[in-house]
Amino acid sequence: MNGTGALVRLALRRDRVLLPAWVLGLSLMVVFSVSATKDLYPTKQSLVSAAETINATAALVAMYGKVYDPTSVGALSLIKLTAFGAALVAILFVFVAVRHTRSEEEAGRLELVSAGVVGRAAPLSAALVVGMGASLVLGALTTIGLGLVGLPWVGAVSFGLGWALSGVVFTAIGGVTAQITTSGRAAIGLGMAAVGVSYAMRAVGDLASGDPGWLSWLSPIGWSQQIRPFAGDRWWVVALPVVATAALVPLAFTLRSHRDLGSGLLPDRPGPARGGITGVSGLAWRLQRGMFFAWVVGAVLMGLVLGSIAHNVTGLLTSPGMRKYIVLLGGEQGLTDAFLAAEVGILGALVAAYAVTATARLRFEESEGHAELLLATATTRTRWAASHFVLALFGVAVIMLVAGAAIGFSHGLAVHDVGRQTYRLVGAAAAQVPAAWVMAGIVMVLFGWVPRWVAGAWGVLVAFIVLGEFGPLWQLPQWVLDLSPFEHSPTLPGGAVGASQLGLLLTAAALLAVAGFARWSTRDLEA
């Protein structure tokens, strides 16, 4: 543990912009959402009817969870931020935990540090201290913000605690995944998979009978909801994340103490003495295929789960008032389609994250010095950059189509209409591809023009998702909402196929790519 203090200071110095920006941004998001929602529902009746509508709409319950007290302003106005917000918090802290452990180790910098008076476990404990400390600060700021906008302080504390503990648990999860893989990217990927799985688990659990079903109780993101801020404030739920953290942290330290610096859990096996990689495209495939297959498997699993719950949607609606509501929305078919379209939309945003990682590989290859080796051969710059870029575009399309097919297949099984549902949902999924390609184009522009800022594409992606989720609530002007490519993706199945919008997205992706490639072939190679 020697040297932990110094490493904590080093981490804070490195994150002096990133961490405060995220923590403040997330806290402000909460404050804005609450103050915007409060004015929307002036009477208790409008509040209750809005909450009941949400609770009766499976797509919304799956996406955000239930409003556990329909008469509570806090519970309603934070519905979008309880589970979804906890997931954003989780993503941030997986990233922070891995960034200061495995990524540093992979880069060889930890070796430099470890040679000093620094205990073997110090980098891990420093990362956990920073991550968990920042989680608590985030929780405190959120609580203060909610109290200041006029919500009850008790609920403000339980909401802040829910977020803080999501951060704490996922810092610990990041600390564990960092011990398992040998690359920082893979550790972050594994941590993100944990976020995705816990989000999906609580979606299924929240839809199940049992209020919520047992799957939600296994999900760290579900725990933030089940504290039920502003809707009963069940303090005992806090014990779950605390116990989980108490189990995960020793696990991370045990894994760390059983391995050498730089190694993962799996031993390195010898590779072939002769190479079968024939060109840069083959190399790009070799470097990216592991991540690609992991995404395909994830997409299939998620698609099967989401598809299997879609037919339950209308079962939730029992009251006569709600029946009327269904008819207004286009009947049961319309409701199911709305649910499916929401799921396909979420997958579209997730696949955009794949587009970012796959394209950002270019920058990693450049800064690691691998590009220097390749570009000193007869490989042109365009050829090399295209090898990863094309793979990213191709990967996005395949993952999305496979996910659509999985949703359609499992929904089709449930409604005895496999052929047609698979066909519809593959089409719906295909319509999400151009927006994700725009994200790949944005990474390409950053790579060409400001290579050091390629990681900023993650911020852009989060900003687009937040715009889509909260922009209308914050009453942002339409042109701001239109900045997000997802705003232009058609709502399918059920909606109209906007050919002109898809054309717009494809044009934007193409222009961004051209701008990025053009600059890349005329700039210096940068370490």
Contact string 338-377 vs other proteins (x = CB under 8 A): ------------------------------xxx-xxxxxx
Closest CA to 359 of 486, 299, 446: 446
| Residue choice 271, 328, 416, 478 for contact with other proteins (CB under 8 A) | 271
Considering the complex, state which of residue 38 and residue 185 has its C-beta at the smaller distance from other proteins. Answer: 185
Q: Is 294 in the site for other proteins (CB under 8 A)?
A: no
Considering the complex, state which of residue 157 and residue 284 has its C-beta at the smaller distance from other proteins. Answer: 284
Residues in Cβ contact with 261 at an 8 Å cutoff, skipping those fewer than 6 apart: 105, 110, 111, 114, 120
Q: Is 277 in the site for other proteins (CB under 8 A)?
A: yes
Considering the complex, state which of residue 178 and residue 400 has its C-beta at the smaller distance from other proteins. Answer: 178
| Residue choice 122, 128, 165, 283 for contact with other proteins (CB under 8 A) | 283
Considering the complex, state which of residue 246 and residue 277 has its C-beta at the smaller distance from other proteins. Answer: 277
Q: Is 525 in the site for other proteins (CB under 8 A)?
A: yes
**Inter-residue contact 303 to 403 (CB < 8 Å):** yes
Q: Ramachandran region of residue 369, left (φ > 0), alpha (ψ -120 to 50) or beta?
A: left
Closest CA to 204 of 222, 220, 190: 222
Considering the complex, state which of residue 120 and residue 523 has its C-beta at the smaller distance from other proteins. Answer: 523
Residues 126-185 that bind other proteins (CB under 8 A): 182-183
Start-to-end C-alpha separation, the chain: 33
Residues in Cβ contact with 25 at an 8 Å cutoff, skipping those fewer than 6 apart: none
Contact string 182-211 vs other proteins (x = CB under 8 A): xx----------------------------
Give residue for tokens 């014990």.
239
Backbone φ, ψ for residue 74 (5° rounding):
-60, -45
> What 3 state SS string does 49-73 have?
HHHHHHHHCHHHHHHHCCCCCCCCH
Helices (H), 17-152: 18-40, 44-56, 58-64, 73-77, 79-99, 102-107, 109-114, 122-148
Cβ at position 317, least distance to other proteins in Å: 51
Cβ at position 104, least distance to other proteins in Å: 15
Q: Is 278 in the site for other proteins (CB under 8 A)?
A: yes
Q: Is 462 in the site for other proteins (CB under 8 A)?
A: no
Integer-rounded Cα Rg, in Å, for the chain is 23
Contact string 306-335 vs other proteins (x = CB under 8 A): ------------------------------
Considering the complex, state which of residue 377 and residue 475 has its C-beta at the smaller distance from other proteins. Answer: 377
Considering the complex, state which of residue 120 and residue 381 has its C-beta at the smaller distance from other proteins. Answer: 381
Q: Is 20 in the site for other proteins (CB under 8 A)?
A: no
Cβ at position 522, least distance to other proteins in Å: 7
Residues 378-407 that bind other proteins (CB under 8 A): 378-381
Residues 88-117 that bind other proteins (CB under 8 A): 106
Considering the complex, state which of residue 182 and residue 312 has its C-beta at the smaller distance from other proteins. Answer: 182
Nearest-10 crossing angle of helices 418-430, 331-367: 50
Considering the complex, state which of residue 391 and residue 512 has its C-beta at the smaller distance from other proteins. Answer: 391
Considering the complex, state which of residue 39 and residue 524 has its C-beta at the smaller distance from other proteins. Answer: 524
**Inter-residue contact 127 to 100 (CB < 8 Å):** yes
- Total residues in contact with other proteins, by rule CB under 8 A: 37
Specify burial of residue 42 (Cβ count, 10 A radius: 0-12, 13-18, 19+).
Answer: exposed
| Residue choice 273, 328, 478, 479 for contact with other proteins (CB under 8 A) | 273
Q: Is 276 in the site for other proteins (CB under 8 A)?
A: yes
Considering the complex, state which of residue 375 and residue 414 has its C-beta at the smaller distance from other proteins. Answer: 375
| Residue choice 39, 42, 209, 272 for contact with other proteins (CB under 8 A) | 272
Backbone φ, ψ for residue 431 (5° rounding):
-70, -15
Cβ at position 240, least distance to other proteins in Å: 37
**Inter-residue contact 299 to 399 (CB < 8 Å):** yes
In order, the DSSP letters of 153-166 are: HHHHHHHHHHHHHH
Closest CA to 258 of 352, 124, 423, 392: 124
Q: Which residues bind other proteins (CB under 8 A)?
A: 106, 182-183, 262, 268-280, 283, 286-287, 368-370, 372-381, 522-525
